[in-house]
Amino acid sequence: MADGTSRGGDAKFGEAPLDQTVAAAGAMRRLSSLLVSLEHPHPTVDVMLAKFDEWEGELAAAAPTDSSPRIGEVDGDPRRVYLNHATDIAAYNPCFPEYSFDYLDADNAGGRIVFPVIYEGPPGLVHGGFLAVFFDSIIQHHNCVTGMSGKTRGLSVTYRRPTPLLTELRFDVARSQVERGIASTARLLLDDEVLCTGEVNTLASTPDKLAGTRFGRRRKEPSA
């Protein structure tokens, strides 16, 4: 899968997000970066706030009454649809950083990422907590696409150099099977300089053993 897409063969880990959700996530990520960059109040933000109240009310009326994820099929289940959290979470959730794979095979993977302003910690630098989220995301993505995966048992991040915002960075992942689990080591690099590393140990499970594969399917739209 040299193009780094999230296709995982026949494995299913949850419903795909709606195209609207993907588009909205990207817009919210960009808008959030602009909001935290403003020097002074802006009239457009007042308009946005008024619309937010309106939109929240309309979406709340259409959303499920139970915010728990719908796992399994139950008639009349009031819980929400469960989206794929194995790969490309950032495509629909702006709280997660976006990345792309350039290559991905059973043992190794690599790609690129640019952290926008919304993930800032120290001035001009990425918040360390988002780097931990990033490492956990790319490693679980790698695991789920290549077969065996499972719950994270341990995550260790070593910070070597400050990680800059708004800069294209490279990452690579090396993966190996160990006793009762999977060990992965990922690096984030600026050119050839290692900025930080992440080591993740997960359980080793086949996709059918994961709760996400038993998700309740998206329901058909009601007839007009």
Mean pLDDT across 18-33: 97
pLDDT at position 199 = 97
- Identify whether the C-beta of residue 121 lies closer than 8 Å to the C-beta of residue 67: no
**Nearest in space to 147 (alpha carbons), one of 204, 64, 85, 62:** 204
CA angle, 29 then 32 then 35, to 5°: 155
Percent of the residues in the chain that have a pLDDT greater than 90, as a whole number: 70
119: its two tokens: 């993930």
pLDDT of amino acid 108: 97
CB 184 within 8 A of CB 173: yes
Q: Using the predicted structure, report yes or no on whether residue 8 has a pLDDT greater than 50.
A: no
* Residue 183 token pair: 């060990």
Check whether 132 has a pLDDT greater than 70: yes
**pLDDT tens digits for 50-104?**
999 999 999 999 999 999 998 887 888 899 999 998 899 999 999 999 999 999 9
- Per-residue tokens: 195: 């900025």
Q: Pick the range with the lowest mean pLDDT from 27-31, 74-78, 144-148.
A: 144-148
CA distances from 4 to 71, 78, 108, 146 (A): 28, 35, 12, 12
CB neighbours of 15 closer than 8 A, spacing ≥ 6? 81, 82, 83, 84, 215, 217, 218
Where does 19-212 sit in CATH, by number? 3.10.129.10
Residue 172 has what pLDDT? Answer: 98
Residue 214 has pLDDT above 90, yes or no: no
pLDDT band for position 211 (50/70/90)? low
How far, in Å, are 98, 173, 205, 210 from residue 118 at the CA level? 12, 25, 34, 32
Give pLDDT, residue 209: 66
Specify the pTM. Answer: 0.88
% of the chain beyond a pLDDT of 70: 90
